[in-house]
Amino acid sequence: MKKVFISTAIDYVNGAPHLGHALEKIQADVIARYHRSLGDEVFFLSGSDENSLKNVQSAEKEGIAIKDLVDKNYEKFYNLKKILNLSYDDFIRTTEERHVVGAQKLWTLCKEDIYKKKYKGLYCVGCEEFYKEEELEDGLCPEHKKPLELIEEENYFFKLEKYADKIKELIERDDIKIIPEKRKNEIMSFINSGLQDFCISRSSERAKGWGINVPSDNTQKMWVWFDALTSYISALGFGGKDELFQKFWEKGDTRLHVIGKGINRFHAIYWPAMLLSAKITLPKILFVHGYITVDGQKMSKSIGNVIDPHELVSKYSADGVRYFLLREMPALDDGDFTYEKYEKRYNSDLASGLGNLFSRVIAMVDKYGEIEIKPNEYTKKEIENVWNKYKDKFIYFNETLIEVWSLIGSCDKYIDQEKPWEVEDKKEILSNLLYSLKNISQMIEPFMPETAIKMKEQLNEEDGIFRVKKGESLFPKIL
């Protein structure tokens, strides 16, 4: 049994979550559920990033205390667990004492690579990052398309340049594997352009007193990314009771971060450098997804084109939303959302596809009675082939689901060809169909767990016998 650590990024809580946040959480949840289905021991983590300047500015804008703002919005992010049927094992808040202890310990372990100097640079509060002028697009932040602030103050810096060659080697060898390859190439290009030491603190004055104190210097607060990245290990007890840290991080088999492409640099370069400095084990895999766009533009709270996952789920169901995001959106690239696309995909794949097939078969078996599981060799071979493709493609969720739906299509063709309603002894036909549906329910479980449970309950298989229990429609059609 492998020990597998899986994390999402932790989200800024300066506003409510949008569908882009939901996409990442669902993707990570699918991976976690899949590993559990293999018998692996999984620690699945998410959290909220509560120490950013974004939160300070949003609280000022709303005229409320910073703590009140982060407490209010944290609840909205945490509630995604229930709304989207996510299987987190823990949710870390960066204002928790366990995290403060862990972040300050990591700083202390990195102290030989930390120094203080005066600095002047262009800062994007949205990215929480300094940019070089040549990185800007028309003088604006390349990510948020907004002007940057000119900041001049004395801060602490980390000796990133010292670790450039080592990080390049680790990524080249796939010791830190970046998926997909094009994101790896982007990181290699950035490293080859020359890494510079980076700022890891801000003045307490600029931070308005909000954030984690730099050890032995309460005039400075940790840069939010130094503190935020530490959440992956502080949630495991790093800095305190570290049994989980030892089990899932230091001695674990897989350490996987699911992140958006906009924060790849922090996870592929800064985070490994910090861990190398502290002599802590490195992550193994970065799964880097794209963005959900609306009319081709990145969905963003700052842009104001957000779609509320709460509303979408209340209208269409959690599994419907999960399926659309995993099937319609390329797993590792951008995908565009419209309600028209959603309803078309739902009706074709879920209502008229899986839902219709399942109800047809259950209705036939319900009239016929008990059916023993005795699939013919052709059916067993076909399903074995789909399972092989499923396992090979799994992390490319949309491609994996295409394979599953090809099996659904095969079942529909089989019914039309064999016409079981015209055959006196239907047992072999129905057995093949029920065996196929059983496997389909197992295949979709990581993607649509509620639907998988409903299918299992209605199939009602025990000791090699199906005694179906006809229930509600899996996916009523959207009219």
Q: Which of 3-7, 198-202, 271-275, 443-447 is least confident? A: 198-202
Q: Kindly report, residue by residue over 430-463, the tens digit of the pLDDT.
A: 999 999 999 999 999 999 999 999 999 999 999 9
Catalytic residue from among 25, 76, 289, 298: 298
Catalytic residue from among 54, 261, 301, 426: 301
Q: Is 306's pLDDT higher than 80?
A: yes
Catalytic residue from among 110, 124, 199, 411: 124
Distant-in-sequence, close-in-space partners of 383: CB < 8 Å, separation ≥ 6: 375, 407, 435, 436, 439
pLDDT attached to residue 301: 65
**What is the dihedral sign for C-alpha 57, 58, 61, 66?**
negative
pLDDT attached to residue 293: 87
- 80: amino acid identity, one letter: L
Catalytic residue from among 21, 54, 184, 257: 21
Catalytic residue from among 25, 35, 110, 141: 141
Contact 228, 11 (CB under 8 A): no
Q: Which of 23, 35, 26 is nearest to 254 (CA)?
A: 35
Q: Give the mean pLDDT of 217-225.
A: 93
Look up 127 and say whether it is catalytic: yes
pLDDT attached to residue 174: 98
Helix (H) or strand (E) holding 53: helix 53-62
Confidence of residue 302 (pLDDT cuts 50, 70, 90): low
Average pLDDT, the chain: 93
- 44: amino acid identity, one letter: F
Kindly state the DSSP code that residue 142 receives in the 8-state scheme. T
Radius of gyration over every alpha carbon of the chain, rounded to an integer in angstroms: 25
Cα–Cα dist 341/344, whole Å: 5
Look up 199 and say whether it is catalytic: no
Cα–Cα dist 469/35, whole Å: 30
Cα–Cα dist 3/41, whole Å: 5
Q: Is 144's pLDDT higher than 70?
A: no
**All domains in the chain, ordered by first residue:** 3-309 (3.40.50.620), 338-466 (1.10.730.10)
Catalytic residue from among 3, 72, 81, 144: 144
Catalytic residue from among 127, 289, 426, 438: 127
Q: What is the DSSP string of 245-308?
A: IIIIIIS-SEEEEEEEGGGHHIIIIIHHHHHHHHT-PPP-EEEEE--EEETTEE--TTTT----
Q: Kindly report, residue by residue over 20-51, the tens digit of the pLDDT.
A: 999 999 999 999 999 999 999 999 999 999 99
Cα–Cα dist 436/449, whole Å: 18
Q: Kindly report, residue by residue over 56-103, the tens digit of the pLDDT.
A: 989 999 999 999 999 999 999 999 999 999 999 999 999 999 999 999
Contact 256, 287 (CB under 8 A): yes
Cα–Cα dist 64/178, whole Å: 40
Look up 141 and say whether it is catalytic: yes
pLDDT attached to residue 435: 97
Cα–Cα dist 441/436, whole Å: 9
Q: Is 118's pLDDT higher than 80?
A: yes
Look up 21 and say whether it is catalytic: yes
Q: Give the mean pLDDT of 383-407.
A: 97
Look up 110 and say whether it is catalytic: no
pLDDT attached to residue 100: 97
Confidence of residue 299 (pLDDT cuts 50, 70, 90): confident
Q: Kindly report, residue by residue over 359-378, the tens digit of the pLDDT.
A: 999 999 988 778 999 999 99
